[in-house]
Amino acid sequence: MTRVGYQGEPGAFSEEAVVTLFAAGDAGAVEPVPCRTFRDVFDGVEQGTLAFGVVPLENSQGGSIAETYDLLLRESVSIVGEVVVRVDQALLGLEGSTLDGIRRVWSHPQALAQCEEFLARLGADVVPMYDTAGAAKRVAEEGRADQAAVAAERAAAVYGLQVLASRIQTHGDNQTRFAAIAATPTAPLGPPEKTSIVFGVRHVPGALVRALSTFAFRGLNLAKIESRPLGDRPWEYRFYVDVEAGMDDPLLADAVEELEREGRSITVLGSYPRWRWASEDAG
């Protein structure tokens, strides 16, 4: 049984991401392992107690997960896959609870932000927690009819709660993209079609344009670009890019070599298959 770590409690969207991703690959039967924090997931992968970890990268409404991007700079892990999960948030409460009676709502800050309009109309106090399913667990354990959680409907079944309202997110097509990480750049999920890279540039005019031109001149499409502060040098940044090519593509290998020759700090975070919905494969 392959142990795969995720942040949160059973019933979390991250657990769904584990099951969805590895059902589509060749890693065999998996055991989803709940972890308290993202750092715990990375630690488990580095130390060998987890074969893989699955961590969120970005939400289509709430944006990027900054902590994940910062943790990916650890040189001892590689991205080996990605999965996109449709996120339908629900309001969960005790059996017999009513919307009018809810005075406090718990959930992860991202989930609360995704449901901001609904929660504003509800008029309850919102309290952030480390995990959506953890919020559902808390509501069940405390047993108060005036409390509710924003979480997946599947968490209601796990913790014996009632669905008070479904699909409460502000934007109906709400999706989260997750990355699978491993201690070695293995390929259990298929051949590489996408590569995540992080690089730095000198703090001079045109430096970023010249770096990005390295990909553009070779016809390499960037699916995403993200900036994060360096931390030790205020107002300077590192840049994360997702390139729609595997590292086995000579054009991408040549682009990376050119960036290295020009003295830019560059790290390949991983090369992995692009996530495809079942409808894409059928087409």
Q: So which residues are the catalytic ones?
A: 176, 178
Distance spanning both ends of the chain, measured CA to CA: 33
**DSSP state letters, the chain:** -EEEEEES-TT-HHHHHHHHHHHSSSS-SEEEEEESSHHHHHHHHHHTS-SEEEEEEEETTTEE-HHHHHHTT-TT-EEEEEEEEE---EEEE-TT--GGG--EEEE-HHHHHHTHHHHHHHT-EEEE-S-HHHHHHHHHHHT-TTEEEEE-HHHHHHHT-EEEES--SSSSS-EEEEEEEESS---TT-S--EEEEEEE--SSTTHHHHHHHHHHTTTPPEEEEEEEE-SSSTT-EEEEEEESS-TTSHHHHHHHHHHHHTT--EEEEEEEPPP--HHHHH-
